[in-house]
Amino acid sequence: MKLRSLLHRRQSEKLPLLPEAELSESTDASLRAVFASREKKKTRAAEERLERLLTPTELDLVREHRL
Protein backbone atom coordinates (compact mmCIF):
# COMPACT_ATOMS: atom_id res chain seq x y z
CA MET A 1 0.00 0.00 0.00
CA LYS A 2 1.35 3.39 -0.94
CA LEU A 3 1.61 5.89 1.88
CA ARG A 4 0.89 8.77 -0.48
CA SER A 5 -2.69 7.62 -0.74
CA LEU A 6 -3.11 8.39 2.96
CA LEU A 7 -1.95 11.99 2.61
CA HIS A 8 -4.54 14.66 2.11
CA ARG A 9 -3.82 16.87 -0.85
CA ARG A 10 -4.37 20.59 -0.60
CA GLN A 11 -6.05 22.45 -3.39
CA SER A 12 -3.81 25.03 -5.05
CA GLU A 13 -6.38 27.79 -4.53
CA LYS A 14 -6.16 27.34 -0.77
CA LEU A 15 -2.37 27.54 -0.57
CA PRO A 16 -0.88 30.92 0.31
CA LEU A 17 1.15 32.61 -2.40
CA LEU A 18 4.81 33.31 -1.92
CA PRO A 19 5.77 36.99 -1.91
CA GLU A 20 7.51 38.26 -5.01
CA ALA A 21 11.18 38.83 -4.53
CA GLU A 22 12.24 42.28 -5.58
CA LEU A 23 15.88 42.34 -6.51
CA SER A 24 17.60 45.62 -6.06
CA GLU A 25 20.63 46.61 -8.10
CA SER A 26 22.96 45.85 -5.20
CA THR A 27 21.50 42.37 -4.80
CA ASP A 28 21.76 41.79 -8.53
CA ALA A 29 25.40 42.90 -8.52
CA SER A 30 26.24 40.68 -5.55
CA LEU A 31 24.63 37.67 -7.27
CA ARG A 32 26.70 38.34 -10.38
CA ALA A 33 29.83 38.53 -8.22
CA VAL A 34 29.04 35.17 -6.62
CA PHE A 35 28.52 33.49 -9.99
CA ALA A 36 31.67 35.09 -11.40
CA SER A 37 33.74 33.82 -8.47
CA ARG A 38 32.35 30.32 -9.00
CA GLU A 39 33.34 30.43 -12.65
CA LYS A 40 36.84 31.59 -11.72
CA LYS A 41 37.18 28.71 -9.27
CA LYS A 42 36.10 26.23 -11.94
CA THR A 43 38.57 27.72 -14.40
CA ARG A 44 41.40 27.60 -11.87
CA ALA A 45 40.58 23.98 -11.00
CA ALA A 46 40.58 22.97 -14.67
CA GLU A 47 43.89 24.77 -15.22
CA GLU A 48 45.43 23.04 -12.21
CA ARG A 49 44.20 19.67 -13.46
CA LEU A 50 45.83 20.30 -16.84
CA GLU A 51 49.11 21.28 -15.18
CA ARG A 52 49.14 18.01 -13.27
CA LEU A 53 48.27 15.79 -16.23
CA LEU A 54 50.29 17.29 -19.07
CA THR A 55 53.96 17.67 -19.69
CA PRO A 56 55.25 21.25 -19.99
CA THR A 57 55.36 21.10 -23.81
CA GLU A 58 51.83 19.68 -24.01
CA LEU A 59 50.62 22.36 -21.60
CA ASP A 60 52.17 25.06 -23.79
CA LEU A 61 50.36 23.64 -26.82
CA VAL A 62 47.02 23.68 -25.01
CA ARG A 63 47.50 27.24 -23.81
CA GLU A 64 48.58 28.38 -27.27
CA HIS A 65 45.47 26.95 -28.93
CA ARG A 66 43.07 28.33 -26.28
CA LEU A 67 43.84 31.89 -27.30
Q: In Å, what is the CA distance from 11 to each residue of 5, 7, 14?
A: 15, 13, 6
Q: Is the pLDDT of residue 41 over 70?
A: yes
Interatomic CA distance for residues 31 and 8, integer angstroms? 38
Query: Which pTM was predicted?
Result: 0.42
> pLDDT for 5-27, tens place per residue?
777 776 767 777 777 666 666 77
Q: pLDDT: is 23 or 29 the higher one?
A: 29
- Looking at every residue in the chain, the average pLDDT score rounds to 79
